Amino acid sequence: MAGFKDIIGHKQIIEHLENAIRMDKVSHAYILNGPAESGKMMIAEAFAMALQCEKNQAEPCLECRSCKQAMDHNQPDIIYVRHEKPNTISVDDIRTQLNNDIVIKPYSSKYKVYIVDEAEKMNQQAQNALLKTIEEPPAYAVILLLTTNADSFLPTILSRCITLNLKAVKDDVIKSFLMDKYKIPDYQADVCTAFAQGNVGKAIQLASSDSFNELKAAALQLMKRLDDIDLYEMSSAVKQISEYKLQINDYFDLMMIWFRDILYMKATNDVNGLIFKDEVYDIKKQAAKRSYNGIENILEALSKAKIRLNANVNFDLVIELLLLTIKEN
């Protein structure tokens, strides 16, 4: 658990929350809305810690008893609402852990803060039960709903909460953070940053993942030698990709970045704008050989392949068709 100052990006949201603490205008209910791994929990925990900090300041001190308890996840007035069923937060979860608990005054702090992660999983009964509490909360209550999809909430819940939408963090901010913190070279940071699409959590995962580096190496190796593969060898190429079936969307994204680099190289001849800078020799070779139209066809085929796999079309068939399209263009 970290304070606000340790969070990468999301400056506007952090300023909003810090100002609410400073001006003593903390709302009873907030929705933190953004993709998985985008930093919702970090922001919620920093906010909860700041609210309970014994120094009464907008940035948690990380030194008082309350902050230390919060960092160890045992601050009695910061409550994490859990759910047993993987895809549902039930009415019982909300009643027992939130509604029945919220009437009891804080144990040792100014507030009682409830953090509901994956709040989009609340079914309608759970939302209705929560609504009753949000309509008439005790003065000390703060409820934080963390979600990847705020649109799944009842309009009555949305109207009673302050919604904070987490925006994508700028690429240059993520890149320098990865290089400073994880000591990775700039070309590796470029790939992780491009891949993360503004999501710091995803960038961190990729930077520290051996399996991602293995996936990248496998995808690029195949892209580089695909032109030399004869049609009768195509089934072995399909088999090679099927080893990464569980990570196929990431595999496709790597291919997408590869062909975008080729397109960029063809259009600008500028090495600095490439994501795969360390592959410049092969990218130049492919850019010289392929037409603009051919590269566009490949990028379109990749998008179609993703859609087909999501629609449960036969895996081997989709991959074979994609590889043939790449060879033809």
Arithmetic mean of pLDDT, 175-199: 88
SS3 for 115? Answer: strand
What is the spatial order of strands in the sheet that 78-81 belongs to? 78-81, 112-116, 141-147, 29-33, 162-165
* Mean pLDDT of all residues belonging to the chain: 92
Q: First vs last Cα of the chain: how many Å apart?
A: 50
Cα 303 from chain centroid (whole Å)? 21
Is the pLDDT score of 232 beyond 80? Answer: no
pLDDT (0 to 100) of residue 210? 83
Superfamily of the domain at 4-165:
P-loop containing nucleotide triphosphate hydrolases (3.40.50.300)
Pairing of strands 141-147, 29-33: parallel
Is the pLDDT score of 158 beyond 80? Answer: yes
Domain spans of the chain, in order of start: 4-165, 209-328
Distance from C-alpha of 248 to C-alpha of 254, rounded to nearest angstrom: 10
Q: Give the chain's length.
A: 329
Q: 209-328, which class in CATH? A: mainly alpha
Band the pLDDT of 94: cuts 50, 70, 90: very high
Distance from C-alpha of 22 to C-alpha of 51, rounded to nearest angstrom: 10
Arithmetic mean of pLDDT, 238-260: 91
Rg (C-alpha) for the chain, rounded Å, is 24
Instruction: Give yes or no for a contact between 193 and 179, defined as CB atoms under 8 angstroms apart.
Output: no
Band the pLDDT of 37: cuts 50, 70, 90: confident
One-letter amino acid at 11 equals K
Band the pLDDT of 84: cuts 50, 70, 90: confident
Distance from C-alpha of 175 to C-alpha of 263, rounded to nearest angstrom: 23
Is the pLDDT score of 279 beyond 80? Answer: yes
Distance from C-alpha of 306 to C-alpha of 301, rounded to nearest angstrom: 9
Q: Give 159-220 as a DSSP string.
A: HHSEEEEPPPPPHHHHHHHHHHHH---HHHHHHHHHHHTT-HHHHHHHHT-HHHHHHHHHHH
Band the pLDDT of 127: cuts 50, 70, 90: very high
Band the pLDDT of 175: cuts 50, 70, 90: very high
Arithmetic mean of pLDDT, 252-263: 93
Pairing of strands 78-81, 29-33: unpaired
What ranges make up the beta strands (E) of 34-153?
78-81, 112-116, 141-147
pLDDT (0 to 100) of residue 45? 96
Band the pLDDT of 140: cuts 50, 70, 90: very high
Burial of 146 (0-12, 13-18, 19+ CB in 10 A): buried
Q: Does the global pTM surpass 0.75? A: yes
pLDDT (0 to 100) of residue 278? 87
